[in-house]
Amino acid sequence: MRIIAGLAGRLAIKVPSAVARPTTDFVRQAVFSILGERVERARVLDLFAGSGALGLEALSRGAASCVFIDEHRQAVQVITDNLTKSRLSGGHVVRAEVSAYLRRDIATYDLIFADPPYVKRPGDPDAIGALLGGDLLRPRLAADGWLIAEVAAHQPSPAGAGWSLVDRREYGGSAILLYAPVIAA
pLDDT value at residue 165: 97
**43-100 confidence digits (pLDDT tens):** 999 999 999 999 999 999 999 999 999 999 999 999 999 999 999 999 999 999 999 9
First and final C-alpha spacing in the chain: 44
> What domains, with CATH codes, occur in the chain?
25-181 (3.40.50.150)
pTM value is 0.94
- The pLDDT confidence band at residue 120, using thresholds 50, 70 and 90, is low
Q: pLDDT digits over 159-183, tens only?
A: 999 999 999 999 999 999 999 999 7
| The pLDDT of residue 23 | 80
Q: Which of 30, 1, 32 is nearest to 16 (CA)?
A: 1
Distance of alpha carbon 91 from alpha carbon 69, whole angstroms: 11
Q: Residue 10: what residue type?
A: R
**Euclidean distance between CA atoms 156 and 90, whole angstroms:** 34
Alpha carbons 24 and 39: distance in angstroms, whole number: 19
Residue 2 confidence (pLDDT) above 90 = no
